[in-house]
């Protein structure tokens, strides 16, 4: 088909040299695909290289502790990917004797491996003729063919997968899938696509009908929640600092943080001091100081976090606590890690 031939020709001339394109090792391909979910190539690449240096094989990753994995993942966001990554590594290492399944349907049995990731591994590592469908693919196909199905709907995955599979070159599935994703990432971008220099312009419905900005259709909106975090840096005379692990489900599961007081709305420093006094008796506190006068806004996909840090100096030693110089050994949310580095 002319669409497929034009796309593959464009890819041969324009593909980026990326480290995971230099291998057909399913471990490397899987690792890159997990990291690239909701993450730009430029941000993911150094993490990919550091992971391979620390864990050259899936068995090495499986034998690492979760804290080691989370620490190395620190700053990449969406930490459930790291926890699932670690779980899947154990599954492959111990249930599959260190060998990844070689087919799309078997790959789907791995934790954290959905239809897109399974298709990517199966096609790139094992030449299975199965098409990938990610955000880039939705966009290219919706625009070129004028598909107005809401990509947030339950029907979209099946419809776009069927369409992509009709276009797939069964002799070159790896090339085709990477070409389609690369075209969406570099040429048919969400904003300001390069339509005037596009090799598919000749038959693009969205370009012809002036609907490029309207496609793909996505009507589902994520509700944004505001949360107010007040972190307490509690330090004793021995310079030990109190840490706690976020064990509840939700953001930053199993990462470390300073003791947290969360409020539904902003509160004054005076009101917060009262809350602090209810946790640590005033006679045990030497001083309470606001560390950042300006609130830090940390945006997640569905939450806005308004963050303040406060130094609480105690006049007696704590039974628990971490030496200040050991703080960097722990995996933190990046907003806390950056604060530690700054202050």
Spatial contact of 201 and 29, defined as CB atoms under 8 Å apart = no
Instruction: State how far Cα 122 lies from the chain centre.
Output: 22
**125-128-133-135 Cα dihedral, nearest 10 degrees:** 20
Residue 64, classed as helix, strand or coil, is coil
Per-residue burial over 181-219, b if 16 or more Cβ lie within 10 Å, else e, is: bbbbbbbbeeeebeeeebebeeebbbbeeebbeebbbee
Alpha helix segments (H runs only) across 16-65: 26-36, 41-54, 58-63
Phi/psi at 16 (5° precision): -80, 150
H/E run at residue 299: strand 296-299
Determine the Cα–Cα distance for residues 142 and 149; give it in Å rounded to an integer. Answer: 8
CA-closest candidate to residue 216, choices 125, 142, 267: 142
Q: Is 290 considered catalytic here?
A: no
Residue 135 token pair: 């955000």
Q: How far apart are the first and last CA of the chain?
A: 59
Residue tagged 């150094």 (tokens)? 46
Contacts from 294-297 at CB under 8 Å and sequence distance 24+?
296/335, 296/339
CA distances 297 to 97, 300, 322, 325, 335, Å, are: 45, 10, 27, 27, 9
Choose the catalytic residue: 2, 17, 33, 214: 33
Question: Which region, left, alpha or beta, applies to residue 31 given φ > 0 means left and ψ of -120 to 50 means alpha?
Answer: alpha
Catalytic residues: 33
């Amino acid at each position: 088909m002319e669409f497929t031939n034009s796309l593959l020709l464009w890819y041969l001339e324009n593909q980026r040299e990326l480290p995971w394109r230099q291998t057909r090792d399913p471990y490397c391909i899987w690792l890159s695909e997990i990291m690239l979910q909701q993450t730009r190539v430029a941000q993911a690449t150094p993490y990919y290289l550091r992971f391979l240096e620390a864990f050259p094989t899936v068995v090495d990753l499986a034998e690492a502790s979760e804290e080691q994995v989370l620490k190395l993942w620190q700053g990449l966001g969406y930490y459930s990917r790291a926890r699932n990554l670690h779980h899947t590594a154990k599954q492959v290492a111990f249930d599959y004797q260190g060998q990844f399944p070689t087919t799309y349907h078997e790959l789907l049995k791995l934790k954290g491996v959905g239809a897109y990731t399974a298709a990517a591994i199966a096609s790139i590592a094992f030449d299975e003729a199965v098409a990938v469908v990610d955000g880039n693919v939705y966009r290219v196909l919706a625009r070129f063919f004028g598909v107005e199905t809401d990509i947030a709907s339950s029907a979209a995955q099946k419809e776009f997968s069927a369409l992509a599979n009709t276009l797939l070159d069964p002799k070159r599935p790896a090339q085709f899938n990477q070409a389609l994703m690369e075209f969406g990432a570099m040429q048919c971008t969400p904003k300001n696509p390069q339509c005037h220099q596009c090799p598919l312009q000749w038959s693009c419905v969205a370009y012809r009908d002036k609907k490029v900005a309207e496609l793909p259709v996505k009507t589902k909106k994520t509700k944004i929640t505001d949360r107010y975090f007040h972190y307490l840096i509690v330090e004793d005379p021995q310079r030990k600092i109190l840490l706690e692990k976020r064990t509840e489900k939700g953001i930053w599961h199993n990462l470390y943080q300073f003791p947290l007081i969360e409020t539904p709305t902003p509160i004054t420093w005076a009101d917060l001091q009262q809350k602090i006094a209810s946790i640590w008796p005033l006679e045990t506190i030497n001083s309470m100081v606001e560390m950042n006068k300006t609130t830090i806004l940390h945006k997640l996909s569905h939450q806005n976090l308004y963050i303040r840090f406060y130094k609480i100096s105690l006049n007696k030693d704590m039974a628990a606590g971490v030496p200040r110089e050991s703080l960097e050994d722990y995996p933190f949310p990046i907003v806390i890690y950056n604060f530690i580095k700054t202050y």
